[in-house]
Amino acid sequence: MIRILLRWSLGIFYAVAGCIHLAAPAPFLRITPQWVPWPETVIFATGVAELLGAVALVQPWSRPLRRAGAIGLALYAVCVFPANINHFLIDMARPDRGLGLAYHVPRMFAQPLIVWLALWTGGVTDWPVRRRSSS
């Protein structure tokens, strides 16, 4: 039951994030590293990826689709990590320190947890919690 609740929570989180990426891309554009080509297109694509991944993760009909959504969202979380680092660097260079360490440090540590959570809630992995066998 906890896996289903967390899967829905993660799905809702990514669906909201996807909508925000599409409706208000400016904050994401500001933290996109300079080396990213076509940043507007990339931000749009990330919003679409979040929405598609969220739908695939929470749908109950197809386990393979749910697993694909989980893998996609996990890869997405890895791919956006450079933007998180860039956001940290931008904020720490500001005189007021922007959102500060209290925001950025937990965010950095949360990223691997989000990768694992996507994989675990999508049924890609059972690590470290194994399902009991029905023997």
Q: How many CB atoms lie within 10 A of CB 51?
A: 18
- With a threshold of 0.85, does the pTM exceed it? yes
Q: How many CB atoms lie within 10 A of CB 115?
A: 18
pLDDT digits (tens, 9 = 90+) for 49-85: 999 999 999 999 999 999 999 999 999 999 999 999 9
Q: Name the H helices within 80-100.
A: 81-93
- Name residues of the chain where pLDDT drops below 50: none
Tokens of residue 31, six digits: 């933290």
Length of the chain: 135
